[in-house]
């Protein structure tokens, strides 16, 4: 087998290797990467910086992939020399590696403009995962960040830094942002949008120097002005890494020159990606590099004839809520221009048509249509008859029509180059039903991710068992699915509702998202968050349940439904003293005092001398019990003691929706444990723990989670499920919907059958929350706010 | 217009409301927090409306504030605090509630109440009494339609029982 050495472990190099692996094996492959990570999606670094993705989510090929394909991976080694005569490469660790075929995929580096003081501490490029991690580490509310460069990367960096809490200024040399992709009007719309997000934009400024004694303090411009900064990111462009090409004696201009077969001037050395120059163009976006990789893989493996003839350049800005798309030659001379502008909505569209074909397009504020334009560009389609529909597509009558109109050869994923036909084949031949299966099977959607909705539409239209993985967003105020939002809040360490709304939402919030966010923060930080009462429902502001006339109901905690003459006497006294209109035995073995005025609540609680029963909140309600072995002649387990202990362990905690429990001493099930969120059912010699039961809006028999021998084991299994539900259910999702959505097998696998570390983690977080939880009625004595319960009296 | 000094600003926390009896009527006063365009520390903005939802008389002061509106805690009707109009359900025929001008003077919320209304109160009349002279209105107040039955069930309006 011949030895193929790949220099560069980036997206282009590995995409090419993936293609090579599709042919019959003829190489022993060694890959050198100077970063210390496996191959990751560099395009997604801005999403990592913006907290939308974790570092491990952008890994493209895991170590396991390299192992499985018998690729020797040498990370942290930089190749510093090539000897084309001896056919060897030399690493900076002194190693000399022979090759038969050499593939240079060295990519590019950040271009550093001639600015004084670039070596000052606090100046970074935004190019690698390490850069990204360092930027996140140095970000915070005290950080004043300056981004030099108002192109794609600079703007994404700016937004990411802002999300990390920094005050951000973008300094750009040109008179408009993203001038390579946008015309003046488009650029101006973008400036407005960026400023609307709270990012300061300075145009037409040439940065002269970065000042600071031990650390960056100020950025100075050529015109004498400047801005204070303690973090600087230089995103002024990229420069192909061509040193090795030069050392190997290849023809090098701006990049390593390759022909249409992706060959260099040396028959045994090839190059791919951002380091190459093809027909005078050095590409810096991912789609062309993947196309090059395909052609090169064919050439390398002897399947000659494949040709790379260049790629229509298209760029999409990846900032949540800032939609910018640009493709082709929108400035082609002699083209007809068709424009649309809505300054109120911040939408700008410009379409350039030449000789009856689309030459280029700019979209700002609404990019929902970009795939249509991309397709016309790629296929050089004749669009003469669509002249009236160039700015907006004709309304589609049903879901799937849009995708139905695409031809099988139309490209869906531009990054990886996957056509509609390929996806349909994958659905039929390989049983693909979900986006993740589609990614696995075709690699579609694994580049910039902008084709996700199109792929989803295709799956929906074609796949027999399509499963929509896209979860509902909470509401229009915070347009994120809850699982995504939980990750964001965790990684961004956000601790207050208002903060979340300001950074990820519309700054206002509503009655749907505010309580949901309140819950999420409480759960994520185990109670150690900034609780904002204004974001909570009235019940959670005054710890009682509002009734139709504006009075409140009071339900004290009676654990397991077991009370005492003394408690009953106090309840009766309170009912007399406050003339309580109704005293009612509830369905949960408790007593409800209805019709109490807000101002009386603290006094009522004090007189009762009992803790809150939390009958008013999305939290732990109660544990209903039967008399078990204590008195019952059929009882097999002490269900009252178990139920009381269960209630003690869970009380005072908040949950996505209310949680009702029960413990019964035998399968006769007198306390109805099989229709509770968590139920313990005593059997001879042990307990069954059941979850996801319901007897409310819907009726559902609970699923068996596990069968155990001791009460302690039953309680621990309950704790595992309880915390798992708290962490993974959507707000207002009852356990019965949650268990049904996930399936009990998955729930078991991730709770009682999970590895010890996972179980330990769940229990730890549950215990942490429990340690912080307090009886809410203590606030009767020490209110959060002077008028929390008291009536506001008019000044004299 | 009679301007009444009601209470110290810090008696109403940001984005919450409080009920107060004023000139014989119950009024809900809301602290909307600082105007967003000016940022924190610019002084909070206060608005006032009747403390009775036009739907089923829910206490608006106990609602969740969203922008310059409040959502009634009983059945999630949404009322504008600027003009008292019903914003949800959008097809509502209700006239909404009375909005009162409010401003801040030396750290105190001051609310303007119409002289006529104040006079009426002195005569022992209530707005309700005037409305009930119209039979149609009277009937609707006794049996108000619930045009958002679904919202009552599915949205976050608390818990019907124990």
Per the model's pLDDT, the better-predicted residue between A438 and A298 turns out to be A298
Contact A794 B36 (CB under 8 A): no
pLDDT at position A430, please? 83
For domain B2-154, give the CATH number. 2.102.10.10
At A600, give phi and psi (nearest 5°). Answer: -85, -15
pLDDT band at A400 (very low <50, low <70, confident <90, very high): low
pLDDT band at A16 (very low <50, low <70, confident <90, very high): very high
pLDDT at position A343, please? 82
Query: Do A486 and A479 contact (CB within 8 A), yes or no?
Result: no
Q: Average per-residue pLDDT in chain A?
A: 91
pLDDT at position B143, please? 44
Q: Which residues of B touch A549 (CB under 8 A)?
A: 57
Per the model's pLDDT, the better-predicted residue between A783 and A24 turns out to be A783
Nearest Cα neighbor of A509 from A555, A466, A478, A554 is A478
Contact A787 B159 (CB under 8 A): no
Stretch A488-509: mean pLDDT: 87
Could you tell me which chain A residue has the CA closest to the CA of B156? A512
Stretch B63-73: mean pLDDT: 95
Report the alpha-carbon distance of residue A146 to residue A163 in Å, rounded.
14
Q: Which residues of B touch A539 (CB under 8 A)?
A: 158-159
Closest partner residue to A534 among B21, B59, B65, by Cβ? B65
Contact A791 B20 (CB under 8 A): yes
Chain A interface test: which of B18, B64, B112, B152 (most A C-beta within 10 Å): B64
Q: Apex CA A255: angle with CA A251 and CA A259, to 5°?
A: 60
Report the alpha-carbon distance of residue A607 to residue B129 in Å, rounded.
39
Closest-CA distance, A792 to chain B, in angstroms, reads 6
Per DSSP (E only), the strands in A293-431 are: 314-316, 324-328, 336-342, 347-354, 357-364, 411-413, 418-419
Q: Is the pLDDT of residue A513 over 80?
A: yes
Q: Which residues of A touch B155 (CB under 8 A)?
A: 511-512
Domains of chain A: 2-108+240-300 (3.50.50.60), 123-236 (3.50.50.60), 473-536 (no CATH), 537-612 (3.90.480.10), 617-774 (3.30.413.10)
Q: By percentage, how much of chain B surpasses pLDDT 70?
A: 64
A residues 742-761 closer than 8 Å to B (CB) = none
- CB count within 10 Å of CB A195 equals 12
Closest-CA distance, B134 to chain A, in angstroms, reads 24
Report the alpha-carbon distance of residue A142 to residue A582 in Å, rounded.
56
Closest-CA distance, B24 to chain A, in angstroms, reads 12
Residue A205 forms contact with B (CB below 8 Å): no
pLDDT at position B123, please? 42
Tokens of residue A750, six digits: 């991730």
pLDDT at position B81, please? 96
Could you tell me which chain A residue has the CA closest to the CA of B155? A512
Report the alpha-carbon distance of residue A455 to residue A439 in Å, rounded.
10
Closest partner residue to B156 among A509, A732, A795, by Cβ? A732
DSSP symbols for A719-773: HHHHHHHHHHSPTT--HHHHHHHH-HHHHHHHTTTS-HHHHHHHHHHHHHHHHH-
Q: By percentage, how much of chain A surpasses pLDDT 90?
A: 70
Stretch B96-100: mean pLDDT: 94
Please state the pTM of the whole predicted model: 0.60
pLDDT at position A733, please? 94
pLDDT at position B105, please? 92
Residue A104 forms contact with B (CB below 8 Å): no
Q: Is the pLDDT of residue A426 over 80?
A: yes
Residue A588 forms contact with B (CB below 8 Å): yes
Query: Do A22 and A36 contact (CB within 8 A), yes or no?
Result: no
pLDDT at position A62, please? 87
Stretch A124-131: mean pLDDT: 92
| A142, A232, A685, A733, A734 from A729: Cα distances, Å | 35, 40, 33, 6, 8
Closest partner residue to A538 among B4, B66, B73, by Cβ? B73
Q: pLDDT tens digits, residue range A74-105?
A: 999 999 999 999 999 999 999 999 999 999 99
User: How many A-B residue pairs are in contact by the CB < 8 A criterion?
Assistant: 111
pLDDT at position B147, please? 43
Q: Is this prediction's ipTM beyond 0.85?
A: no
Q: pLDDT tens digits, residue range A220-273?
A: 999 999 999 999 999 999 999 999 999 999 999 999 999 999 999 999 999 999
Q: pLDDT tens digits, residue range A26-63?
A: 999 999 999 888 889 988 899 899 887 888 888 888 88
DSSP symbols for chain B: -EEEEEEEGGGS-TTEEEEEEETTEEEEEEE--S-TTT-TTS---EEEEESS-TTT---GGGSEEETTEEE-TTT--EEETTT--EEESTT-------EE-EEEETTEEEEEE-HHHHHHHHTT--HHHHHTTSHHHHHHHHS---TTHHHHHHS----S--
pLDDT at position A385, please? 81
Contact B63 A511 (CB under 8 A): yes
pLDDT at position B42, please? 52
Q: Apex CA B71: angle with CA B69 and CA B72, to 5°?
A: 130
pLDDT band at A18 (very low <50, low <70, confident <90, very high): very high
Contact A514 B5 (CB under 8 A): no
CA A713 distance to own-chain centroid: 35
Closest partner residue to B162 among A535, A555, A785, by Cβ? A555
Contact B22 A794 (CB under 8 A): yes
Per the model's pLDDT, the better-predicted residue between A745 and A462 turns out to be A745
DSSP symbols for A103-124: EE---EEE---S-BTTTSTTEE
pLDDT band at B36 (very low <50, low <70, confident <90, very high): low
Q: Work out the end-to-end distance of chain B between its first and last CA atoms, rounded to an integer number of angstroms.
A: 46
Residue A127 DSSP one-character state: -
Q: Look at residue A664 and give its three-state secondary structure.
A: strand
Q: Average per-residue pLDDT in chain B?
A: 76
pLDDT at position A281, please? 92
Contact A697 B153 (CB under 8 A): yes
């Amino acid at each position: 087998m011949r030895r193929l050495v790949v220099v560069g472990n980036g997206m282009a190099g590995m995409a090419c290797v993936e293609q090579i692996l599709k042919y019959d094996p003829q190489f022993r492959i060694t890959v050198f990467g100077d970063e210390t990570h496996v191959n990751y999606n560099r395009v997604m670094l801005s999403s990592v910086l913006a907290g939308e993705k974790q570092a491990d989510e952008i890994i493209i090929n895991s170590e396991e992939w390299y192992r499985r394909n018998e690729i020797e991976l040498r990370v942290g080694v930089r190749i510093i020399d090539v000897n084309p005569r001896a056919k060897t490469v030399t690493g900076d660790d002194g190693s000399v590696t022979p090759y038969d075929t050499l593939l240079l995929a060295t990519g590019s580096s950040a271009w550093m403009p001639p600015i004084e003081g670039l070596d000052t501490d606090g100046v970074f490029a935004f190019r690698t995962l390490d850069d990204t991690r360092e930027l996140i580490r140095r970000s915070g509310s005290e950080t004043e960040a300056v981004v030099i460069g108002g192109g794609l990367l600079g703007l994404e960096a700016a937004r990411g830094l802002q999300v990390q809490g920094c005050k951000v200024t973008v300094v750009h040399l040109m008179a408009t942002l993203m001038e390579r992709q946008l015309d003046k009007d488009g650029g101006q719309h973008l400036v407005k949008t960026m400023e609307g997000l709270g990012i300061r934009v300075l145009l037409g400024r040439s940065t002269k120097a970065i000042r600071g004694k031990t650390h960056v303090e100020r950025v100075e411009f050529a015109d004498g002005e400047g801005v204070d900064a303690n973090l600087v990111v230089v995103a002024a462009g990229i420069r192909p890494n061509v040193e090795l090409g030069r050392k190997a004696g290849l023809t090098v201009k701006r990049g390593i020159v390759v022909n249409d077969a992706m060959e260099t001037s040396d028959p045994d050395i090839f190059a791919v990606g951002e380091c190459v120059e093809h027909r005078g163009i050095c590409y810096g976006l991912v789609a062309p590099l993947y196309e090059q990789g395909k052609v090169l893989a064919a050439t390398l493996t002897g399947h000659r004839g494949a040709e790379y003839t260049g790629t229509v350049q298209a760029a999409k800005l990846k900032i949540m809520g800032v939609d910018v798309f640009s493709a082709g030659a929108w400035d082609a001379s002699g083209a007809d221009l068709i424009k649309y502008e809505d300054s109120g909505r911040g939408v700008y569209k410009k379409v350039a048509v030449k000789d009856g074909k689309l030459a280029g397009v700019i979209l700002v504020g609404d990019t929902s249509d970009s795939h249509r334009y991309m397709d016309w560009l790629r296929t050089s389609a004749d669009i003469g008859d669509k002249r009236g529909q160039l700015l907006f597509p004709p309304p589609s009558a049903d879901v799937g029509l849009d995708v139905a109109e695409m031809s099988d050869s139309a490209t869906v994923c531009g990054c990886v180059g996957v056509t509609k036909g390929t996806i349909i084949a994958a659905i039929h031949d390989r049983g693909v039903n979900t986006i993740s299966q589609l990614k696995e099977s075709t690699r579609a959607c694994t580049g910039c991710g902008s084709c996700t909705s199109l792929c989803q539409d295709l799956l929906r239209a074609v796949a027999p068992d399509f499963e929509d993985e896209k979860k509902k967003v909470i509401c229009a105020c915070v347009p994120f699915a809850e699982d995504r939002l939980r990750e964001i809040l965790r990684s961004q360490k956000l601790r207050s509702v208002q903060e979340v709304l300001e950074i990820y939402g519309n700054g206002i919030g509503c009655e749907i998202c505010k309580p949901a966010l309140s819950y999420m923060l409480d759960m994520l930080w185990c109670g150690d968050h900034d609780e904002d009462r204004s974001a909570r429902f009235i019940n959670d502001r005054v710890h009682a349940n509002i009734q139709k006339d504006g009075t409140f109901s009071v339900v004290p905690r009676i654990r397991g439904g077991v009370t005492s003459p003394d408690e009953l006497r106090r309840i009766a006294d309170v009912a007399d003293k406050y003339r309580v209109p109704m005293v009612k035995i509830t369905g949960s073995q408790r007593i409800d005092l209805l019709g109490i005025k807000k101002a009386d609540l603290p006094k009522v609680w004090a007189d009762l001398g009992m803790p809150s029963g939390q009958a008013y909140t999305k939290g732990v309600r109660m544990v209903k019990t039967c008399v078990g072995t204590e008195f019952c002649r059929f009882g097999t387990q002490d269900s009252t003691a178990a139920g009381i202990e269960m209630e003690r362990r869970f009380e005072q905690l908040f949950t996505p929706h209310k949680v009702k429990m029960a413990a019964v001493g035998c399968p006769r099930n007198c306390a109805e444990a099989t229709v509770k969120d968590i139920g313990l059912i005593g059997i001879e010699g042990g307990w069954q723990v059941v979850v996801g039961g319901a007897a409310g809006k819907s009726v559902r028999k609970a699923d068996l989670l596990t069968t155990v021998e001791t009460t302690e084991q039953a309680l621990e299994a309950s704790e595992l499920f309880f915390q798992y539900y708290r962490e993974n259910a959507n707000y207002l999702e009852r356990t019965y919907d949650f268990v049904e959505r996930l399936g009990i097998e998955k729930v078991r696998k991730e709770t009682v059958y999970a590895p010890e570390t996972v179980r330990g983690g769940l229990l730890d977080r549950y215990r942490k929350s429990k340690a912080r939880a307090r009886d809410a009625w203590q606030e009767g004595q020490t209110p959060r706010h002077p008028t929390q319960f008291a009536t506001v009296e008019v000044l004299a | 217009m009679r301007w009444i000094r009601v209470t110290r600003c810090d008696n109403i926390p940001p984005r919450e409301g409080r009920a107060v009896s004023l000139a014989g009527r119950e009024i809900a006063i809301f602290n909307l927090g600082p105007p967003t365009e000016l940022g924190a520390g610019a002084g909070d903005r206060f608005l006032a409306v009747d403390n009775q939802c036009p739907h089923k008389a829910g206490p608006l002061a106990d609602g969740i504030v969203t922008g310059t509106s409040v959502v009634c805690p009983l059945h999630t009707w949404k009322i504008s605090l600027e003009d008292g109009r019903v914003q949800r359900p959008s097809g509502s025929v209700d006239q909404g509630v009375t909005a009162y001008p409010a401003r801040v003077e030396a750290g105190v919320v001051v609310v303007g109440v119409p002289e006529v209304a104040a006079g009426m109160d002195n005569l022992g009349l209530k707005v309700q009494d005037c409305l009930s002279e119209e039979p149609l209105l009277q009937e609707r107040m006794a049996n108000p339609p619930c045009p958002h039955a679904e919202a009552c069930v599915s949205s976050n309006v608390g818990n019907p029982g124990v």
